[in-house]
Amino acid sequence: MLIGLAVGVASVANARAPDLAQGRAVALGGGAGDQQACAACHGANGAGVMPIYPRLAGQAAFYLYKQLLDFRSGQRESAVMGPIASRLSPRDMEDVAGFYAAATAPYSPPADGDGAQLQRGGTLAAAGSAERGIPPCANCHGQAGRGMPPSFPYLAGQSEAYLAGQLAAFRDGSRRNDPLDVMRRIAGRLNSGDVTALSTYFAHVYPPAREE
């Protein structure tokens, strides 16, 4: 975890380590000025208070930081996060990203999914589809979607609604902050059944355990 964090911060070309206390202040009370608290939607521990809000707990710090930058620049369009991110200083972004990367949150497994859907999603995640040009999610997002810091977020235990929404956003181009368009190209090859199966699958996978 520490290494992941260190790599994340290093790749921001800023040697300063995130100030977790300051990050906590931003998460719970918002940044300077008129600012909403991240915790209102994402929870103080990053578990997310509703399924449409993604889980942030233990997510790679650099990934979180980059998303905030991309919300601000509009590379990742969001009516909610755009204005919030544009009022955060880069330093606030670093700190709050570091705070949520270090957070731990319990995971309550959702009610059991449909076996056929899970198998379809799990197979696509692990093996992709050679004939349709869909690489396995595991190639970049790690085995069972555990994530590969600093850049590739974990998907395991992420909410179903959020995952499906993001795949749709990659497909319609409202999210275009993926390196080399790779997620947009992949999402373009997924049909709606694939999206449902993948979202169901990852939502039911136990999220990665952080090394303390």
Partner 1 sequence: MRLALAFLCLIAAGSAHAEQGDRMKGAALADQGRNGVPACRSCHGDMGIGDGSGAFPRLTGQLGFYLYKQLKDFAAGTRPSPVMSPIASALSDREMQDVAAYYSSVQGPFFPLPILDAKLAQRGGMISAAGIAERNVPACIACHGPAGSGMQPSFPYLAGQYAPYLEYQLDQFRLNRRQNSPLNVMNDIAARMTEEDMRAVSEYLAAVRPPDLSRIGASSTGPASPYTGAPLATYQGTR
Residues lying near partner 1 in the complex (CB under 8 A): 108-116, 118-119, 121-123, 126-127, 138, 143-144, 146, 156, 201-202, 204-206, 208-209, 211
Q: H-helix or E-strand containing 164?
A: helix 160-172
Taking each helix axis as running N to C, give the angle between helix 2-11 and helix 90-102, from 0 to 180 degrees, rounded to the nearest 10. 160
Closest to partner 1 by CB, 76 vs 204, is: 204
Q: How far is the CB of 156 from partner 1 (least distance, A)?
A: 7
Closest to partner 1 by CB, 7 vs 41, is: 7
Closest by alpha carbon to 18, among 151, 10, 42? 10
Q: Which long-range contacts (C-beta less than 8 Å, at least 24 apart) are formed by 43-50?
A: 43/105, 45/103, 45/104, 45/105, 45/106, 46/100, 46/103, 46/105, 47/105, 47/106, 47/107, 48/159, 48/162
Please list the residues that pair with 134 across neighbouring strands.
129
Closest to partner 1 by CB, 93 vs 144, is: 144
User: Sign of torsion, CA 110 115 120 123?
Assistant: positive
Closest to partner 1 by CB, 40 vs 206, is: 206
d(CA 10, CA 175): 25
Closest to partner 1 by CB, 58 vs 150, is: 58
Instruction: Using the structure block, give the residue that is written with the tokens 């998907």.
Output: 155
